[in-house]
Amino acid sequence: MLTRIKNIILCALYLLTFTTIYLGTDKKCAYYTSFVLFTFLYYAALLHSKVHMRYVFLLSERTTPWWTYAHKIAFHILLYLNDRTSIATATATWGLIILWKEIRFLVKHAEKRIGKIDYELYKAQKGIRIAHVRRNMLQEDMENRFHLNLHDTNRLYILPLTPDTERDYCAIHNYKQERREGKSPKLYDAWEQRMWMASADETVFISNRSDTVLYPLVFILIFIIWTFEINSPQAYTNTGLFILEILTTVLGSPRVNDTVIDVVYYITSTIFVTLYANAPCN
């Protein structure tokens, strides 16, 4: 509901901005009014029930839909209207950000699915477990000197639950419930800390998780720095928007990221278009 309200408000605001600029400027460069019209039509399309349902589903279950970046890319093109190199770099930066967010989703989705399988197996009370599915978490697994290799090469085995692993699994799934409730329990020893880490399911998929999720940011930052110029308002705007996209992705949910970025892009693009609407294209 809140997402639909956001889209209705932005659709109305972009229509108002388009009308104001179209009637109140000399329209020396059609790119500015065309951008606002395109963005208005984009938000109008999001109001269609089927498009809206798909949009909300992707935000809730996956990540920000790739097609929501069309008007954002268009704005960055508008920022560097006569600089083809910067346009190409800004567009490539968005491509890398989209790829990075898809990688983040795939890693988290795989962790969630494997963790769910492990949880359902435990909940079924069959007295068995999947050995080596959690990297460096269960003491019984770590006692096997080939544990890391078995985890990394997907050589997983079904083993009976022992009293020690039963205790571990009980703690892991109790901590899972506390995570769902938003609680942060007091952890008194190394074992409890390890079980708390295990309950996040971040060790069930790949060993170099942080590297896999973060390495695209290196290339993104290189591209951002490439287009930065100290005396250019466009460069500050370009850099600020990209940094905000990264921060809201890391610190917030897809819905928070989508809402904050959409609002900031409206404010920024409206100011920019209002200032430059009377300027010639060249």
Indicate if the alpha-carbon torsion angle 184, 186, 189, 192 is positive or negative. negative
Q: What is the pTM of this model?
A: 0.86
Q: Residue 67 carries which side chain, given as an amino acid letter?
A: W
pLDDT tens by residue, 175-232: 888 888 888 888 778 888 888 898 888 888 888 888 888 888 999 999 888 888 777 8
pLDDT tens, the chain, 282 aa long:
788 899 999 999 999 988 888 776 665 567 888 888 999 999 999 999 999 999 999 988 888 888 889 999 999 988 888 888 888 999 999 999 999 999 999 999 999 999 989 888 888 878 888 888 899 888 888 888 899 888 888 888 888 888 888 899 888 988 888 888 888 888 778 888 888 898 888 888 888 888 888 888 999 999 888 888 777 888 889 999 999 999 999 998 889 999 999 999 999 999 988 887 666 665
Segments making up each domain of the chain, as ranges: 110-198
The CB density around residue 257, as the number of other CB atoms within 10 Å, is 22
pLDDT tens by residue, 232-253: 888 889 999 999 999 999 998 8
